[in-house]
Amino acid sequence: MGFAPKVRRFFIGDKPSSAQEATLLRKIDTVLLAYLCLSQFMNFLDRQNITNAYVSGMAEDVGFTGLDYNVTQTIFQIGYIVGGIPQSLIVSSNRIRLSIWLPLCCMCWGLMNLGVAFSTKVYQIQIFRFFMAIFESVSFAGGHYVLGIWYKPSELGKRAALLTASQNTGGLFAGVMQGAIYTTLNGRLGMSGWRWMILVNTLMTVPVALFGFFTFPDTPQDCRRRWLSKEELQLAIDRVPERVQTKLSWGSFKRIFFEWRFWAFTFQFSFNTIMEWSGLFTVSFRRVPMQLWMKWTGWYTVPQINYYPLGTTAIIITSTFFFALWSDYTRSRWWVNCVMAVFSGVSATILLVWEIPTAAKYFAWYLAGMGYIGQATNFAWANEMCRDNDQLRAYTLYAMVYGSNVSIAIFGIAFFPVTDLPRFTKGYATSLAICILSPPLAYAIHRACASRAARLKREAEAAGSIEYRPADSPSAEAQYEDVDEKKGEAVIPEEGDVKVSEVPVSMVR
């Protein structure tokens, strides 16, 4: 392969196999992916503005004192955790149409955000944020679940990166918007700038929800949208590895509870959330230590407090997308966790020293953006490795978000309380420790997935059902990743040049 084709494959991916597939991809990218990205953008725009509002006058207007801010953030995380369980059940149940449920939740979290804009007491904000989180909890994991239904494994990384980039673009835009609104609307009609910001957010969320109500296509098997023909829907089914659609049952809970992939990916992402804290809590709550430190010094104006940390978010967006492209190109994703650990560890080390020039602090906070690169690739990785069972995939993706938010809820108060200003020694020390422990965990999961793939190949080959020829994919995980337990059929990703035939169920379990 020449240099130009390699560059094209790195940035765009493999060429569609036909003109019909190219048209299908263009359509689902334009409508389905666009809605998922817009809803995720609004999700994080609405979520981020609590921090921007806090440093822009809300703390004084509403009466935040002591740990009120940390408690408010933790209540939001509790809502996200509480909502994640029923949301995963609803999304994977095959009983409620996603084209109704996802936009409905988007509309509801916008209305909860509107309540925050007119709150006058801390407890009111906490109540609205709790229910806002319950509705928001469907968005991120649900988006990755839908991506896994419509896209090939070789296409997942780039789309997962777009989803992640959308949420961080929401955080980026929140800072810009808050600075602009504070400058232009603060005091208009007797309302503070932070209230105007949240009101504008709500007005932006409603059209996105309506867009989803009228265009979202559900799954290829259940789609009723006229913008996709019957032939295109059949192609959408045929082009991805076959998945087992099951109804919600007690038996499915038991099977998933004893499935090691569920626990491995959940624990790994929850672990990484702690590792991200030099970056995550510099960026995601968003940019909290940096912004709180800027406010604590008294050196910066409100617009500066909102604008300066946006450099970290810009690094998040570009680096996440680059490494997602790279993981798609190499057909391997586990190693991104090692890169993430290095950069996050360097950032945490610099901030632990603390008695350094201001420029070095800024460098560390900006570098912390690299501590976020594993999110898109880890969700794409879990999506691929759990494709053989629809409910396993849904529960695993939601459990990853669930576990991550449990980590955030605990660490927010225990290791990053605002009372530790200006230094967060406990938080950065813990983050550094996790940076050391996380790469071996990622490698262990990688080896376990590869061993599982090799075992399934040996069992199927022993049944005389598969003839192997050189595969395009270098990843052992990708060469043989799925087994349809219902039909007893080995499902090989399209990248592997493998002949497949029926395999007795007894030979593949």
For the chain, what is the domain count?
A: 2
Instruction: Give the Cα separation of 381 and 400 in Å (integer).
Output: 12
- For residue 3, tell me if it sits in a domain: no
Residues 430 and 474 occupy one common structural domain: no
- Amino acid code (one letter) for 178: Q
Residues 422 and 485 occupy one common structural domain: no
Return the closest-CA partner of residue 384 out of 480, 246, 269, 248.
480
- For residue 227, tell me if it sits in a domain: no
- pLDDT tens for the chain, 509 residues: list them: 666 667 667 767 777 888 999 999 999 999 999 999 999 998 888 877 787 788 788 888 898 888 888 888 888 888 888 888 888 888 877 788 899 999 999 999 999 999 999 999 999 999 999 999 999 989 888 898 899 889 988 888 888 888 888 887 876 777 677 778 878 888 888 888 889 988 988 889 999 999 999 999 988 888 888 899 999 999 998 888 766 565 666 677 778 888 999 999 999 888 887 766 544 443 334 446 777 788 888 888 877 877 787 788 788 888 888 998 888 888 889 999 999 999 988 988 998 888 889 899 889 888 888 888 888 899 999 988 988 888 888 889 888 988 887 887 777 777 777 777 777 888 888 888 888 888 999 999 999 999 988 888 888 778 765 443 333 334 434 433 343 444 444 443 433 333 333 333 322 32
Cα dihedral value 112, 117, 122, 126, nearest 10: 20
* Host domain of residue 500: 460-508
Instruction: Give the Cα separation of 300 and 308 in Å (integer).
Output: 10
Check if the beta carbon of residue 176 is closer than 8 Å to that of residue 306. Answer: yes
Q: Which residues contact 483 (CB under 8 A, 6 or more apart)?
A: 388, 456, 489, 490, 491, 503, 508
* 14: three-class secondary structure by DSSP: coil
Q: What pTM, to 2 d.p., does this model score?
A: 0.73
CATH code where residue 365 lies: 1.20.1250.20
Say if residue 234 is exposed, middle or buried (CB neighbours under 10 Å; 0-12, 13-18, 19+): exposed
Residues 471 and 353 occupy one common structural domain: no
- Amino acid code (one letter) for 80: Y
Check if the beta carbon of residue 91 is closer than 8 Å to that of residue 138. Answer: yes
Instruction: Give the Cα separation of 24 and 46 in Å (integer).
Output: 32
Return the closest-CA partner of residue 413 out of 278, 281, 242, 283.
281
The stretches of 276-389 forming alpha helices (DSSP H) are 277-283, 288-297, 302-307, 310-330, 336-353, 358-367, 374-385
Instruction: Give the Cα separation of 52 and 302 in Å (integer).
Output: 9
Q: How far is CA 498 from CA 14, 469, 479, in A?
A: 18, 6, 9
Residues 173 and 309 occupy one common structural domain: yes
Phi-psi region of 331 (alpha: psi -120 to 50; beta: other; left: phi over 0): left
Residues 333 and 446 occupy one common structural domain: yes
Residues 330 and 473 occupy one common structural domain: no
The DSSP output letter for 493 is -
Instruction: Give the Cα separation of 382 and 160 in Å (integer).
Output: 11
Tokens of 397: 């993706």
Return the closest-CA partner of residue 236 out of 219, 249, 224.
219
Instruction: Give the Cα separation of 171 and 335 in Å (integer).
Output: 27
Per-residue confidence (pLDDT) for residue 244, from 0 to 100: 59
Residues 63 and 44 occupy one common structural domain: yes
Residues 423 and 479 occupy one common structural domain: no
Give the strand pairing for 482-484 and 489-491: antiparallel
Residues 263 and 394 occupy one common structural domain: yes
Q: Which residues contact 251 (CB under 8 A, 6 or more apart)?
A: none
- For residue 54, tell me if it sits in a domain: yes
Check if the beta carbon of residue 101 is closer than 8 Å to that of residue 90. Answer: yes
For residue range 433-446, list pLDDT tens digits in order: 888 888 999 999 99
- For residue 412, tell me if it sits in a domain: yes
Residues 441 and 499 occupy one common structural domain: no
Q: Which of 417, 436, 453 is the last residue of a domain?
A: 453
Residues 443 and 354 occupy one common structural domain: yes
